[in-house]
Structure 1
Amino acid sequence: MVIAYGLRWKIIEIKLIKLIHGAQIQMPIELRQLRQKLIYEDTAGFDSITTDLDDIAALSQLAEIKQKKFGNQAKYYFVCAAVLGLVTFSISSVTIASGFLNIAVFLLYVGLVSLIIAGIYALFRMFKFQRLNLINYRYNLIRQVMQMLGRDLEDTHSIYLKLSFQKGENKEYKTNTLPHPYKSGWKIDIFENQWLNIKGRFLDKTRFVLTITELSKRQYGYKRSSSGKNKYKSKLKSGGLEVNLYLTYSQRRYGAVKLLQNDVRDAIKIPQFSKVRGLKVTDRNMNLTVRISPQFAENQEKIYQTILAMFLSLYQVLNLAKMLSKETV
């Protein structure tokens, strides 16, 4: 078993190195796209999606190891270059003319240049692997969510998954720019980054759409310092996460849910660090939106607890509606 694990790790390492250099490899196109867009998107069966998530996790972990390795190498080369530079400068400052001394200084300069080039190359390799050192809590969270959903998913129905590892303050996620309410000349950029979108169908034919959107805003402008100079200031602030769960269900099976519309909100039980931001109920669908506090926006376990509570709460309502539907028949 240890040999098999080591072999799989070696295969992942080879794939990662080829992926970094843009080589053609036998790997799903969805994984190769990570190198350019840092987005995984696919519609496939449960097993295929979970296998890809396992590969993403392995690639990210290996990229982190390689990043640290080449980062340490770069530090070593530059420290050696600094020491060798001091030695070279000390020797070259000696005024005694000597053929041997001149050769020694020349060789030291060659060594110095070689160390600098090696350090730059190590930095280049480090930054390449750094790009695939993905946000850990995101893929680990989705693996956890997929494991939870997999128990009740319809085997014959494909799952759609879009998982982004991009930063929330990227320009494409800016939705609005507002003037600062009390700082003259300052502005506020609003960002909304939907980094998760999962669509699927359960055994009871209920369709679900689960999304997670990262909210943030950046304040920026010029501030006069004590010396009288205007300095540009910028501050990024998290607005937390917005988690949305949309269920579309059979009207015949769960149609009585409309009789419970006034009681649905009381049935929603979510963790204290989350707040219900929106709830809409009809005889065909339910839409629940929850906001997670900024301090837990990157906490895998807190986000998972919220998602689990949302599914359980809505299905508690559906199960009660199912019982009422049977009674009215």
Structure 2
Amino acid sequence: MAKTTEVQDHDLVGLRETPVYQAEASVQHIVSDLKRVVALDQTIEQKQREMTQWMIGCILGAIAVFIALIVASGLSSAMTIALVIVLIGLIGGIIVTSRKRGQYVAINIPNYRYQLLPKLLTMLVRDMDKQAPVSTHLVLNPPLRIQKCTFDGPHPHRSGWNLKRYDDQWLTLEGELLDRTRFQLLCTESWVTAAGWKRGRSGKRKYKTKSKSKGFELALALRVPRKKYGALPVLTPAAREAIQLPKTCSLKRLEVEDNSLYLRVKMLPPPENPDVQVEQLYQAITLMFLSLYHILNLAKVLSDDKTEAS
């Protein structure tokens, strides 16, 4: 991405075709690129608001013209024809602005995604060579997209309803820390959409669609020098006690090998507020790193003791 934050029309087209930011570069370079992503999303949101305002204006205008045609009497044929033409034009405006607004909604970037990444990189770079490359894959479109659907079938609890599940692995982050530990962080967001016919209070059947967030799955893998942490396998029985997580997270899997650690947690859906989403994700990921390094530090102490004893 270019260094300038000025957004061009071709950027919006490019985002629609390839909604991904991918790079293998220094933290400073990636953070600079993300400023452009922020500017791009702000442009999208501004255009979305503009289309919404134009659409509302067209709707109100069409209603006013329609009422005028019904209520007003004694209009000349020419005036009536003119009002009908205006009404048709306003209806066309509603259709066009609605479609344009839908296009901007489809490429609107979830704010927490580009807000979380700089915070994570700022945290990690403290223990990295500042020029060391970090591999980053950041998905920029929302999770409810057909290509992210991993299940589509009958609802297990509602007869006649259909259930779709969406799993969106939206962040992959890989790099090496100063102690030569390699890390890989994966963030996946899951949603379910249930759809079917439901009878309302009036007795009429209506087709309903409900979407619900199922939260996040966070996975962190560390690969470490075997000589430095040779006592890792010994800690396997007690490793779970070293894991400290926020109340919003639960431990799903922990693997301790002779030169690697793997931690996977499930995080409850945070509130819709992007700031809260970023803070909860950042806190969870930070504690995941700290927990695994607590295990590594214990292994290092045991390894050093064995070396001294021998």
- 1:72 equivalent among 49, 53, 59: 53
- 1:310 equivalent among 268, 272, 288: 288
The total of aligned residue pairs comes to: 301
- 1:253 equivalent among 205, 212, 228: 228
- Report the counterpart of residue 219 of structure 2 in structure 1: 244
Counterpart contact for 1:240–1:296, Cα < 8 Å:
no
The answer to whether structure 1 residue 84 and structure 2 residue 65 are counterparts is yes
The answer to whether structure 1 residue 274 and structure 2 residue 249 are counterparts is yes
- 2:11 equivalent among 13, 19, 22: 19
Counterpart contact for 1:175–1:191, Cα < 8 Å:
yes
Q: Which runs of 5+ in 2 are unaligned?
A: none
After superposing the two structures, state which structure 1 stretch, 251-260 or 160-169, moved more.
160-169
- Report the counterpart of residue 146 of structure 1 in structure 2: 121
- Distance verdict in 2 for CA 1:78–1:169, change over 3 Å: closer
Q: 1:153-195 CA distances to partner (integer Å, 9 max, x unpaired)?
A: 3344422222224443434334345765555555644432212
Report the TM-score when normalising by structure 2.
Answer: 0.82
> How far apart in 2 are the matches of 1:207 and 1:278?
19
Q: Which runs of 5+ in 1 are unaligned?
A: 1-7, 23-31, 96-100
> How far apart in 1 are the matches of 2:105 and 2:285?
30
Counterpart contact for 1:199–1:207, Cα < 8 Å:
yes
- Report the counterpart of residue 74 of structure 2 in structure 1: 94
> Highest Rg: 1 or 2?
1
- 2:40 equivalent among 59, 80, 103: 59
How many angstroms does 1:274 deviate by?
0.8
- Distance verdict in 2 for CA 1:183–1:310, change over 3 Å: same
> How far apart in 2 are the matches of 1:213 and 1:55?
23
Q: Map 1:154-169 to 2 at 5 A.
A: 154-169=129-144
Equivalent residue of 1:255, what SS? coil
> How far apart in 1 are the matches of 2:160 and 2:49?
42
> How far apart in 1 are the matches of 2:205 and 2:82?
50
Counterpart contact for 1:188–1:217, Cα < 8 Å:
yes
The answer to whether structure 1 residue 319 and structure 2 residue 297 are counterparts is yes
Equivalent residue of 1:251, what SS? coil
How many angstroms does 1:116 deviate by?
4.2
The answer to whether structure 1 residue 204 and structure 2 residue 185 are counterparts is no
> How far apart in 1 are the matches of 2:108 and 2:23?
21
- Distance verdict in 2 for CA 1:128–1:217, change over 3 Å: closer
Letter in 2 for 1:316: H
> How far apart in 2 are the matches of 1:237 and 1:64?
23
> How far apart in 1 are the matches of 2:172 and 2:271?
19
Letter in 2 for 1:126: R
Q: 1:264-288 CA distances to partner (integer Å, 9 max, x unpaired)?
A: 2111111112111110001210000
Counterpart contact for 1:276–1:290, Cα < 8 Å:
yes
How many angstroms does 1:117 deviate by?
4.2
Equivalent residue of 1:94, what SS? coil
How many angstroms does 1:76 deviate by?
1.6
> How far apart in 1 are the matches of 2:65 and 2:199?
45
- Distance verdict in 2 for CA 1:157–1:242, change over 3 Å: same
Letter in 2 for 1:160: S
> How far apart in 2 are the matches of 1:58 and 1:274?
32
- Report the counterpart of residue 173 of structure 1 in structure 2: 148
Give the root-mean-square deviation of aligned CA atoms.
Answer: 3.2
How many angstroms does 1:118 deviate by?
4.3
- Report the counterpart of residue 17 of structure 2 in structure 1: 36
> How far apart in 2 are the matches of 1:184 and 1:114?
44
Q: Sequence identity of aligned pairs in percent?
A: 32
